[in-house]
Amino acid sequence: MEEPEQAEQAIQLINENKEFNAETLARFNKYVGGRDVGFGYHVISVFGSQSSGKSTLLNALFRTKFDTMNAQVKRQQTTKGIWLGHTRNVAVSVAKSAGNDDSTRVNEDLFVLDVEGSDGAERGEDQDFERKAALFAIAVSEVLIVNMWEQQVGLYQGNNMALLKTVFEVNLSLFGQNKDNHKMLLLFVIRDHVGVTPLTSLKETLETELNDIWSQLAKPAGTEHLKLQDFFDLEFTALAHKLLQPEEFIKGVESLGDAFTSKDSTTGYLNPQYHHNLPLDGWIMYAENCWDLIETNKDLDLPTQQILVAKFKTEEIANQAFQNFEENYHVDLKKDTTASELAEQLKSLKRGCFEDYDAFASRYVRSVYQEQRKQLSIKTENKIKTTLAEYFANLSEQVLEELTLKITAKNKQTFADKTNVAKKFALDKFRSSAQVFTTRELVTSLGEEISNFEISVEKVISDERDKESNHIIARAGKKIHLGIKEEIFFLLAHPQPDLWDQVLAKFNELWKDSLKNFETGIDQKYDFGLELSESKDAEIRDSVRSKAWTVLYELVHDYLSEDNVVTILREKFENLFRFDENDSPRLWKNEEEIDSIFRVAREKAYQVLDILAIASTTDGVELVPDVPLRDGDGNMDLEQDFEDDEGVYHSKRFAHILSNSQKARILQKFKRQANTTVIEAKRSTIKTTTR
Ligand code: GDP
Ligand code: MG
């Protein structure tokens, strides 16, 4: 059991200058000592003429410490203003009969407003305060106690009735236009009840009086049909004279206390429908706002006020929740952190944040609470998204690496087949990871991340496809290169009259052979297995062809250097000159024979030179590549005419293998060597004849 709280001195909520006490919030926090009060509190106000024993009653009933006339020994007047007391103790009869203390602990916090006015009827200035105090009490409290002497009942005079008229008027102005279900309790406490007149007849008299006041009110248009009972529940009770009948007085106070603590909604005074439905942490702000508006004579629109308070408070709570969320936000992103591990971490952080928010904010106006919740959700989502961005960047890098490995794997599959499988694997892996976060509602969408990843995948595939087509071109080029060296060089070294027909036929054979894996069966159409359009396939084919021709050009021109041609001519010449048709070495009989064989052999060698000098078919057509040729740097067209640095014009053609000056130099060298061979032959004849 908690210790009963010591009654605390009341504070002045609104002072005589009509100012709201700035320390109220701090005081409230002290009152509730950090407990989460939520809706578990009530606000009760008391009205009545000055020195009618209001404070005395509150202190007896609620164990509060409001100043009373007695306590203020010397002071003549009670201090004007609205005083606020707090209690969790109420005087009740049940506790006493059970042998306990004469007060009982209530679980809910009661806030009591003691309105200290003066006799308002007398001074205009005070009427203003009275009116404002009434507006305030109606706006913020659930029960309004009207305290009056028995002898005032039925007199229809004095400031009591003027006060009630004020209360009714302000109430109509506040709620008349849009009457909702909200009601408050008007509790009449008749003091110094002698007992001669029973409470029931006092009650009747008062009810008649109240209805009279109500009917005489100037009601705003549209509110004429509304009855007093539409706004107020009425309760009447009477208390004996405190000094003359102290025991009776205390008994009366205790049965009042019973009604304030009763959980029975028919006899209890604290009916839930009187509550303003603001949690305590919002009530203080609400009360202050209400007072500001009343004091500056602005429209006191309570529903709007409640919304404003709700907006302010939910935002404050959301900010606090988000701050905690950020402080707790430690996410460990290791290379092997799985999507579901990360999602669990984030989910628990997010859950914590919303638990913080919901615990306090859900008590406010639902629409405001939900709107603010949405905002909070966006903020947490943005924070989470920065982590996810990092996570997906890592994941993307990892999956793209795997994608590349799968595409470049060396196996029997075509590029297209490998790519399709690898692409599906990569997209599935990424999408299923993304889904882990969306299904857990950590983010609403990861569409952007997914489409960025898809773009990266396409980029990897297209880069690999480019590499692959370059490989195909290079591989075919190498094959052709090898083929030319092995087969075409042989043809060049032993030139036949149809040399270039043979070269061309061989070249086409090599070219076709280099692409035989990609043949479609349709002439000149190739499928390189790269999932390309027909025109792209044709481009690759043309590149291979261009490469092939370039290789042919370079190899042939290199091979047929001046020295090599001289060697080829000499070989041709010597074969004919030294060997007979049966490949047996000739034995010379005389110089005449040497001269005649020499002429024939030299003639044949000359013919070879003509064959080699210009690449043309037996039909006399020069060989011309059917595609543009590029050199290694890919920027020079090999089939073109050009001027050299000295301004000399050159015709550069595939077919033009030896220029006239080259031919002349070749002939000169060849002749010298051939002549040497002849002289040696002749010497050998002389030796044999002289022996
Ligand atoms: P308040 O101005 O309405 O708050 O009145 P107080 O509670 O300060 O009391 C004013 C005077 O009335 C004090 O001198 C009290 O002793 C006296 N008083 C308190 N209760 C009663 C009561 O039940 N009957 C009468 N006749 N006097 C009371
Ligand atoms: Mg008082």
Query: pLDDT tens-digit profile of 145-191?
Result: 999 989 888 765 655 677 788 888 888 877 776 666 678 999 999 99
Tokens 């003509």 found at: 610
Contact assessment for residue 239 and residue 252, using Cβ atoms and an 8 Å cutoff: yes
Q: Does ligand 1 lie within 6 Å of residue 117's CB atom? A: no
**Protein residue closest via CA to atom 27 of ligand 1:** 53
Q: Does ligand 1 lie within 6 Å of residue 255's CB atom? A: no
Query: pLDDT tens-digit profile of 191-224?
Result: 999 989 999 999 999 999 899 889 988 888 888 8
Q: Does ligand 1 lie within 6 Å of residue 56's CB atom? A: yes
Q: Does ligand 1 lie within 6 Å of residue 477's CB atom? A: no
**pLDDT at residue number 225:** 86
From residue 237, alpha-carbon distances to 156, 186, 201, 252 in Å are 19, 11, 12, 9
Q: Does ligand 1 lie within 6 Å of residue 64's CB atom? A: no
Contact assessment for residue 506 and residue 492, using Cβ atoms and an 8 Å cutoff: no
Q: Does ligand 1 lie within 6 Å of residue 54's CB atom? A: yes
- What whole-number percentage of the chain has pLDDT above 90? 48
Is the pLDDT confidence value at 49 over 90? no
Is the pLDDT confidence value at 650 over 60? no
Annotated binding site for GTP: 48-55
All CATH 3.40.50.300 domain ranges of the chain, comma separated, are 11-299
| The pair of three-digit structure tokens given for residue 293, joined into one six-digit string | 């508006």
Choice between 683 and 348, residue whose per-residue pLDDT is larger = 348
Q: Does ligand 1 lie within 6 Å of residue 191's CB atom? A: yes
Q: Does ligand 1 lie within 6 Å of residue 572's CB atom? A: no
Position in ligand 1 atom list of the atom nearest CA 114: 4
**pLDDT at residue number 7:** 64
Q: Does ligand 1 lie within 6 Å of residue 80's CB atom? A: no
Query: pLDDT tens-digit profile of 447-499?
Result: 889 999 999 999 999 999 999 989 988 999 999 999 999 999 999 999 999 99
Q: Cβ contacts of residue 644 below 8 Å, gap of 6+?
A: 650
d(CA 262, CA 90): 11
From residue 680, alpha-carbon distances to 31, 601, 685, 691 in Å are 135, 16, 9, 17
d(CA 634, CA 546): 11
Q: Could you tell me the pTM of the whole model? A: 0.67
Query: pLDDT tens-digit profile of 414-461?
Result: 888 999 999 999 999 999 999 999 888 888 888 889 999 999 999 999
Instruction: Give me the mean pLDDT over the 280-304 stretch.
Output: 86
From the list 557, 671, 666, 551, the residue with the least C-alpha distance to 614 is 557
How many angstroms separate the alpha carbon of residue 542 from the centre of ligand 2? 108
Our mutation pick for probing the ligand 1 site, out of 45, 55, 59, 69, counting the most ligand atoms within 8 A of Cβ, is 69
**pLDDT at residue number 74:** 44
- Give the confidence band of 254 by pLDDT, cuts at 50, 70, 90: very high
Q: Residue 85 CA: which ligand is closest?
A: 2
| The pair of three-digit structure tokens given for residue 673, joined into one six-digit string | 């060597």
How many angstroms separate the alpha carbon of residue 282 from the centre of ligand 1? 34
d(CA 381, CA 459): 30
Choice between 36 and 107, residue whose per-residue pLDDT is larger = 36
**pLDDT at residue number 249:** 96
How many angstroms separate the alpha carbon of residue 56 from the centre of ligand 1? 6
Q: Does ligand 1 lie within 6 Å of residue 241's CB atom? A: yes
Position in ligand 1 atom list of the atom nearest CA 242: 23
**Protein residue closest via CA to atom 10 of ligand 1:** 51
Q: Does ligand 1 lie within 6 Å of residue 51's CB atom? A: yes
How many angstroms separate the alpha carbon of residue 9 from the centre of ligand 2? 13
From the list 203, 188, 104, the residue with the least C-alpha distance to 146 is 188
Position in ligand 1 atom list of the atom nearest CA 56: 7
* Other residues' Cβ atoms within 10 Å of the Cβ of residue 621: 13
How many angstroms separate the alpha carbon of residue 125 from the centre of ligand 1? 25
How many angstroms separate the alpha carbon of residue 113 from the centre of ligand 1? 17
Position in ligand 1 atom list of the atom nearest CA 191: 23
How many angstroms separate the alpha carbon of residue 54 from the centre of ligand 1? 7
Q: What is the ipTM of this complex?
A: 0.99
* Other residues' Cβ atoms within 10 Å of the Cβ of residue 158: 15
How many angstroms separate the alpha carbon of residue 183 from the centre of ligand 1? 30
What CATH superfamily classification does 11-299 receive?
P-loop containing nucleotide triphosphate hydrolases (3.40.50.300)
**Protein residue closest via CA to atom 13 of ligand 1:** 69
**pLDDT at residue number 333:** 81
How many angstroms separate the alpha carbon of residue 170 from the centre of ligand 2? 23
Q: Does ligand 1 lie within 6 Å of residue 677's CB atom? A: no
From residue 595, alpha-carbon distances to 217, 577, 578, 689 in Å are 155, 10, 12, 17
59-97 per-residue burial string, b: 16 or more CB within 10 A, e: under 16: bbbbbbbbbbeeeeeeeeebebbbbbbbbbbbbbbebbe
**Protein residue closest via CA to atom 9 of ligand 1:** 53
